[in-house]
């Protein structure tokens, strides 16, 4: 019952305790605060941090390249997709970024994903923040990272969890399609959301 | 921690949560390892299961299911939701980015756990064709080794109903899976 926890298990316990100590309804935006703190820690240790100012107080997006070569993209507002593409190109990643309005999504099969496992590539959504992680070698020569995102702000809810046990503590509810392709990418044909 | 009070408190008392986490962590990690292939997914889903349990705990009454069975019921819904989303559509709010917490040693331990659960994972995969209600019972009995009574409690249905669903599933799978599904008498308490 009280076997020693490994590093992952201990870190997860810490995060879970934070969830209970700081319920979202009481302290809004804990995810963002925590993630930004993490970014600042990383920024001090990495070679390159590029931030593009947006219209608001925080930049709309940023691209960071870590010592290990992992590229982390943080998006705070879904604006200036072309600017983010240009910023990624400076880090050596060709990208096709599409922001879809009003929580809608792109019709499937816009492109053919590469036929290999994209180990470690991930995307996460938190309050006011979308974060994409691209480990080194994810996007090879001649390939493109493709991402289409839509999202809407969701106020905190005190209702019961959904049937799937999904927790709705408020924040960012969205849809994302992302992969890597070596072929052409068709324009996004917008269709209504299928996300609950 | 097996009192109603203990489980009901995990949503508001960090110490109660920690005791609950330490008691059930290994079981949850094995539960997840019987259902997914990669250490990253296993890490994410372990976090999701505990988050869902925290949220659902205020409704825990203890009269229907023991804490472990209740938690398995929560875990099953979380993992089923994960598979339906196929990793391409996300609905996330205050998620913990668990895979980012992994280091090499922790990943190795999860991979070893995934390897040890390979046979159960094959059974889990083979159940994909079953209707949802039958599948939910068969999963908990044949993949997780629960008794029919505990599986029924985890799913919030009667034991008699669970037994009927299990036998229907057996008949349905008789041609493709003969011998894989255990007789429920073997797993009853």
Return the higher-pLDDT residue of A165 and B82: B82
What's the confidence (pLDDT) of residue A127? Answer: 55
Name the β-bridge partners of A179.
Answer: A146
- In the 8-state DSSP scheme, what is residue A113? B
Find the mean pLDDT for residues A162-186.
Answer: 67
Q: Where are the alpha helices (DSSP H) in B11-139?
A: 14-33, 39-56, 67-85, 104-116, 118-126, 132-138
What's the confidence (pLDDT) of residue B75? Answer: 94
- A13 contacts B10 by C-beta, under 8 angstroms: no
DSSP of A74-106, one letter per residue? EESSS--HHHHHHHHHHTT--EEEEEPGGG-EE
What's the confidence (pLDDT) of residue A190? Answer: 86
Which range has the top average pLDDT, A143-152, A178-187, B168-177? Answer: A178-187
B-chain CB neighbours of A7 within 8 Å are: 101, 103, 105-106
Find the mean pLDDT for residues B96-122.
Answer: 90
Long-range contacts of B132-137 (CB under 8 A, 24+ apart): B133/B165, B134/B165, B134/B166, B134/B168, B134/B169, B134/B172, B135/B169, B136/B76, B136/B165, B137/B162, B137/B165, B137/B166, B137/B169
Give the pLDDT band (50/70/90) at residue B1. Answer: very low
User: Which of A11, A20, A122, A132 is the best substitution to test chain B (most B C-beta atoms within 10 A)?
Assistant: A20
Do the Cβ atoms of A31 and B17 come within 8 Å? no
- A71 contacts A82 by C-beta, under 8 angstroms: no
Share of chain A above pLDDT 70, in %: 63
Tell me: the pLDDT tens digits for B165-180?
Answer: 999 988 888 766 544 5
Find the mean pLDDT for residues A59-77.
Answer: 85
Return the higher-pLDDT residue of A160 and B56: B56
As a whole number, the mean pLDDT across chain B is 82
Do the Cβ atoms of B12 and A20 come within 8 Å? yes
10 Å CB burial of residue B27 (0-12, 13-18, 19+) is: middle
Helix (H) or strand (E) holding B165: helix B159-177
Q: How many residues does chain B have?
A: 189
Model confidence, pTM: 0.54
ipTM of the prediction greater than 0.90, yes or no: no
Name the β-bridge partners of A122.
Answer: A133
What's the confidence (pLDDT) of residue A128? Answer: 60
Closest Cα partner for A193 from A80, A127, A101?
Answer: A101
Looking at A21-35, A153-167, B98-112, B147-161, which range is the least confident one?
A: A21-35
Q: Please tell me the distance from the alpha carbon of residue B67 to that of residue B63, in angstroms, as a whole number.
A: 10
């Amino acid at each position: 019952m009280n076997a020693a926890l490994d590093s992952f298990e201990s870190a997860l316990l810490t995060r879970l305790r934070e969830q209970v100590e700081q319920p979202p309804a009481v302290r809004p935006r804990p995810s963002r605060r925590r993630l930004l703190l993490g970014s600042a820690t990383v920024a001090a240790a990495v070679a390159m941090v590029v931030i593009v100012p947006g219209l608001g107080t925080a930049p709309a997006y940023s691209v960071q390249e870590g010592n290990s070569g992992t590229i982390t993209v943080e998006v705070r507002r879904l604006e200036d997709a072309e600017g983010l593409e240009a910023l990624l190109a400076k880090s050596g990643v060709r990208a096709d970024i599409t922001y879809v309005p009003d929580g809608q999504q792109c019709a499937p099969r816009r492109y053919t994903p590469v036929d290999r496992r994209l180990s470690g590539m991930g995307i996460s959504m938190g309050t006011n923040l979308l974060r994409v992680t691209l480990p080194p070698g994810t996007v090879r020569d001649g390939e493109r990272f493709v991402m289409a995102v839509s999202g809407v702000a969701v106020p905190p809810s005190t209702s019961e969890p959904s049937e799937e046990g999904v927790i709705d503590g408020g924040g960012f509810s969205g849809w994302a399609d992302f992969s890597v392709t070596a072929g052409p990418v068709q324009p996004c044909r917008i269709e209504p959301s299928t996300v609950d | 921690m097996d009192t109603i009070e203990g489980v009901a408190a995990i949503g508001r008392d960090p110490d109660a949560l920690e005791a609950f986490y330490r008691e059930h962590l290994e079981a949850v990690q094995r539960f997840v390892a019987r259902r997914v292939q990669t250490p990253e997914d296993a890490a994410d889903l372990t976090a999701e299961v505990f988050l869902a349990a925290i949220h659902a705990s205020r409704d825990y009454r203890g009269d229907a299911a023991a804490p472990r069975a209740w938690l398995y019921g929560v875990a099953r819904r979380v993992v089923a939701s994960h598979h339906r989303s196929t990793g391409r559509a996300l609905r996330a709010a205050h998620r913990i980015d668990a895979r980012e917490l992994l280091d090499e040693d922790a990943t190795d331990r999860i991979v070893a756990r995934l390897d040890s659960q390979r046979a159960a994972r094959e059974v889990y995969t083979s159940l994909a064709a079953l209707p949802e209600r039958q599948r939910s019972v068969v999963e908990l009995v044949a993949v997780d080794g629960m008794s029919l009574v505990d599986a029924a409690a985890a799913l919030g249905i009667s034991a008699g109903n669970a037994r009927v669903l299990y036998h229907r599933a057996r008949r349905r799978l008789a041609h493709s899976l003969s011998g894989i599904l255990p007789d429920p008498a073997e797993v009853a308490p």
